[in-house]
Amino acid sequence: MMKVLTGKKAPIFQAEAVVNGVEFVDNFSLGQYLGKKNVVFFFYPMDFTFVCPTELIAFQEKLAEFEARNTVVVACSTDTKFSHFAWLNTERNRGGIQGVQYPIVADHSKMIAINYGVLAGEYSQSENGLSFEGNPVAYRGLFLIDKEGIVRHQVVNDLPLGRSVDETLRMVDALNFHEENGEVCPANWNQGKEGLKATSEGIAEYLSSHIN
């Protein structure tokens, strides 16, 4: 069942992961960032596919911009750590993602995807035993988690629909702006634009000066 996690604690986990493209980590957890950094935690369906490498490489190309915003990027799919490692060490002109440096979590049990509500199917129990209906991979779910471990933004795309990394950066900017200034971010807000005070006077002032 699809979950709305916005405003709630992000589900915790410990899992195998590949870090810096070459290092196996057995007990990777988002808990290491609590109190320190925001986290962009995103799921993708499978290694060695078509849309997925475009997304992972696009996040890598903007990684310095996330880091400048005190935000880490972490990816996850239902593949094994060995599949991740092979994909990370395959050249891009052969469909690989060589050069991706942020952690990629191995959710081979599918429990992380289930807990985040993004598994593209579900298990059911019948007289014949446990069965699975649907596609046993993760939708393109993305969760922006703040320093307190609270999900502040989530978006879930169907398998064929790639995400916008620029929109993810915009949401990180909006979260940082709100936390630093106490103001809220109106429609189509971008870094450098004005926010507005969350009062009736504030919205009236904003609308009078920005809306024709």
Burial label for 78, CB within 10 Å (0-12, 13-18, 19+), is buried
pLDDT above 80 (res 154): yes
The residues annotated with a catalytic role in the active site are 52
| Segment 99-104 mean pLDDT | 98
Q: What pLDDT band is residue 212 in, cutting at 50, 70 and 90?
A: low
Q: What pLDDT band is residue 56 in, cutting at 50, 70 and 90?
A: very high
pLDDT score at 120: 96
With 0.85 as the threshold, say if the pTM is over it. Answer: yes
pLDDT, the chain, mean? 94
Largest CA distance in the chain: 65
What are phi and psi for residue 168, nearest 5 degrees? -65, -45
pLDDT above 90 (res 207): no
**pLDDT tens across 175-189, in order?**
999 999 999 999 999
| Contact assessment for residue 76 and residue 43, using Cβ atoms and an 8 Å cutoff | yes
CA distance 12 to 191: 31
- Give percent of the chain with pLDDT exceeding 90: 83
**For 131-180, what is the HEC assignment?**
EEEEEEEECEEEEEECCCCEEEEEEEECCCCCCCHHHHHHHHHHHHHHHH
Please state the domain extents for the chain.
Answer: 15-162
**Fold exhibited by the domain 15-162:** Glutaredoxin (3.40.30)
